[in-house]
A and B are shown apart, each in its own frame.
Chain A
Amino acid sequence: MEELPAADPAPAPVPVSISAPAPTPGSVPVPVPEPEPVPAPVTVPVAPDSGESVIATSALTKRYRGGQLAVDRLDLAVPAGSVFGFLGPNGSGKTTTIRMLMGLIEPTSGTARVLGRPMPGASRAVLPHVGALIEGPALYGFLSGRDNLMRYDAADPTADPRTRRTRVAAALDRVGLTPAAGKKAKAYSLGMKQRLGLAAALLQPRRLLVLDEPTNGLDPQGMREIRALIREVASEGTTVFLSSHLLDEIEQVCTHAAVMAQGRLIAQGAVAELAAGARGRLVVTTPDVGDAARVLKEQGITDVVVEENRVTGEPPGRELADITAALVAAGVRVRGFGLERASLEDAFVALTGEGFDVAG
């Protein structure tokens, strides 16, 4: 279960030279795998459409019959080979967008192209190359997990019935459902249903995987497994389009992201760039918050916010050590001092001026 990183190629952490002689054979500090080993953003050259957008929409708009504007002039560009995070609070138009991309909903205006072909017009040609999980899994409760996959595979006219059984078994194995394959789907837990939905999306080699909230309802272990699976699929060259309302999920998995709010696209680009757009905060941890705030202001730091045991502010453009010196000179007792890295959440708040509904 535990995947041990190979001992040699890992860059030895600095303290190794000191601690090396100490441990007895029994207590070798097992190098625990990093909680979420973030690989370098994989940009796999995709032969057929490298450089081209796998998903491209232009002024895509959906107004429901009630007059409600669900998606408002959306211009989305998902680069080939990316893991693209589609981020936004519940009700911001993510699912409507995905349904339009999958040809389930007709746009009111604007165009959507998937794998270079217009949707929904080219559904028949495009969709066999796309695996999708839309708004949670949906299964036939009276069929076993295996039969559910057989049914979805039979629905695809391009799927070879001669390889159906092996492909279904492989997909079940990939999501770890082989032991439960013969059970009726109505007896599945939500996490198992979610995995079976993913298995359905992975029945064939896909060029694009569209996953709408794939970790909903999963426990932390399940979430990690799904994320690992997403990275694995991405490393095979499949573009992954991942919608989520969980910021850290996007930050951990995605190379690119777009942010939606109230049907409109607020930002899109590489995750690193998006996060860099929001600057970090200077944080001083101290019991003497009043004095610290005064000193920071004297040092020309703006947007000083006093919290309990903590003072934060906009980081200055000059040497931070000067500020520590000033704090110490003023007799402020400093427990901690540093820059807090900007997260995607900061970026989101900076972009929308509102908090993020982190439900679940």
Chain B
Amino acid sequence: MSRAEGKASAGSEAPSGGEALAVGPADGTYAGAGVPSTTSTPGKPGAPKTPSPLWTFGLLRSELGVTFRRWRTLALLAVLAAVPVMVGVAVEIETSDGSSIDGGGGGGGGGPVFIAQITSNGLFLVFTALAATLPFFLPMAVGVIAGDAIAGEANAGTLRYLLVSPAGRVRLLLVKYATTMVFCLVATLVVAASALAVGALLFPLGEVTTISGTRIGLAEGLGRAVLIALMVAASLLGLAALGLFVSTLTNSGIAAMATTVGLLITVQILDQIPQLSALQPYFFSHYWLSFADLMRDPVHWDDLLRNLELQALYAAVFGSAAWARFTTRDITA
């Protein structure tokens, strides 16, 4: 994606506004980041600089590069990739003597949902691994990335140099959120891909039995797996916005990460307390496991849509709060 931007900007010498707009939306999610800077320096006296609107994506590309080249990010992804391996190997060892983990329907037993079906179909390891990592591993990794986004830069002092470059506060915030979103997606896909590889290696692949009991082909099963991965990634967007907001509050990256992960754990615990049932539908994690509904036939959309609405609400509320805080804050670090 970023390479395409580079080519586009290099190819068109001075793209007109129309061209730029035509190219922008192709980038989907991040098109918004380009909007502010198109008005950056018109009519500056003595300024021969007529920046291409596409140059603004340079920061996003740089941010993605910096994030995914960091040892810390790679370590988080490695941990996430290891979870399906452990689950797969554990199930393989457990069942190697011929016994089975409860041969009943989906979602039963003590383990994560779908774990019983893994031995008969390796594709179910994808669903199991996502169900196992979604409550804690995935959101923790997102909390680390989101919490560190602004606070980590402030802590290192690099924030002031980015801002006098000038990155622009709104642009920087959008780039940080976009990068966190990309991380949500990459992290989820890493879990899914690792699970698929381990599942295919240790168990047979074949027709998939849905929760509703119908059977669907392997191709459609894979399609459902991709949908589920996207759903899981989307489930993390609310937490990402929350983490970004926390990150604008402090100059300590560690404090922001700890606060975000602490909030995650707190909400997860509160979600288990029956007396708080009136509040629970507003917890960002409440509908997380609704992704299992994608394995019904036909798909049961109610909770899935409620989950997406809730994530959008969190993103809007905490995104605005982060914007309000970050654009007015004195940068003293």
Contact = CB atoms under 8 A, between A and B. Distances in A.
Given A124-B41, A158-B41, A158-B49, A132 B62 contact: no
Interface stretch (A23-31, A136-144, A242-250): A136-144
Contacts of A200: 161
B193 to A, nearest CB: 26
A179 interface: no
A155 B59 contact: yes
Interface string B151-179: 00000111011111111100110000000
Interface stretch (B213-221, B293-301, B325-333): B325-333
B331 A104 contact: yes
B112 to A, nearest CB: 35
Contacts of B37: 124, 157
Nearest to B42: A125
B328 A159 contact: no
A241 B164 CA distance: 15
Interface residues of B, number: 40
Contacts of B161: 132, 134, 138, 152, 155, 197, 200
B168 A157 contact: yes
Contacts of A102: 160, 163-164
- Report the contact-size class of chain A (Cβ under 8 Å from the partner): 35 or more
B45 to A, nearest CB: 6
A128 B166 contact: yes
B51 interface: yes
Contacts of A153: 165
Contact of B164 (A104, A106, A154, A162): A104
B61 interface: yes
Contacts of A143: 66
Contact of A152 (B41, B162, B331): B162
Contacts of B61: 154
Interface in B21-47: 37, 40-41, 44-47
B164 A159 contact: no
A140 B66 contact: yes
A38 B156 CA distance: 37
Interface in A32-54: 47-49
B331 A105 contact: yes
Given A138-B160, A154-B58, A127 B71 contact: no
A158 B55 contact: yes
A156 interface: yes
Interface of A: 47-49, 99, 102-106, 116, 123-125, 127-130, 132, 134-143, 150-162, 197, 200, 207
Interface of B: 6, 9-10, 37, 40-41, 44-47, 49, 51, 55-56, 58-59, 61-62, 66, 69-71, 156-158, 160-168, 171-172, 328, 330-332
Given A49-B46, A154-B59, 5 more contacts: A102-B163, A105-B330, A151-B66, A153-B165, A154-B62
